[in-house]
Amino acid sequence: MHHESSVVVNRPIDEVWTFMTDPFNIPRWGGGRLAFRVTPTGPWGLGSTIQQRMVIFGFETRITSTVTEWDPPRTVTHSVMDSGIGRLGFFRATLEAAGAGTKVVRAVEVEPRGILKLLSPVLGPFMRRQMDAQTQNLKRLLEAGQG
């Protein structure tokens, strides 16, 4: 499953990048995210591990990923891994200056396996709605000065 969600935020690229890469802010985007933690503690970058707690279909789950691309203030990619089955997919955010604002493109690629493969017809639309809502919330928070 692949999905992209984009928006133009009326804020400079450095401000958007700083907001998007602050672990405190990420659960504020909504979409079922309960917590977002980066290890080792401190600023994150290439090789950092990301641990997320999320609610999906009413069930709390944990997702672990590793930052595989880090190019401030333009691109961050993290690959999602499962210790039992390997790579599940990736999340990527790219930013580019767009006039006085910043174009943000968020992409996700998921390779469902096991039970998730059976749930794909339901999981895909759910994932797209969640991601689109998160992207719009990102815009709303930044433009309201809550970033």
Q: Which of 27-31, 51-55, 62-66, 116-120 has the least mean pLDDT?
A: 116-120
Number of Cβ within 10 Å of residue 46's Cβ equals 12
What's the CA gap between 87 and 89, in Å, rounded?
6
Strand partners, 40: none
pLDDT band at 146 (very low <50, low <70, confident <90, very high): low
Q: Is 114 left (phi over 0), alpha (psi -120 to 50) or beta?
A: left
Q: So what's the pLDDT on residue 87?
A: 57
Predicted local confidence at residue 18, as pLDDT: 95
Mean pLDDT of the chain: 86
Tokens 């499953």 correspond to 1
Instruction: Identify which of 36, 56, 22 has the alpha carbon closest to the alpha carbon of residue 125.
Output: 56
SS3 at position 74: coil
Q: Are 66 and 73 in contact (CB under 8 A)?
A: no
State residue 85's pLDDT score: 46
Phi, psi dihedrals of residue 27, rounded to the nearest 5°:
-60, -25
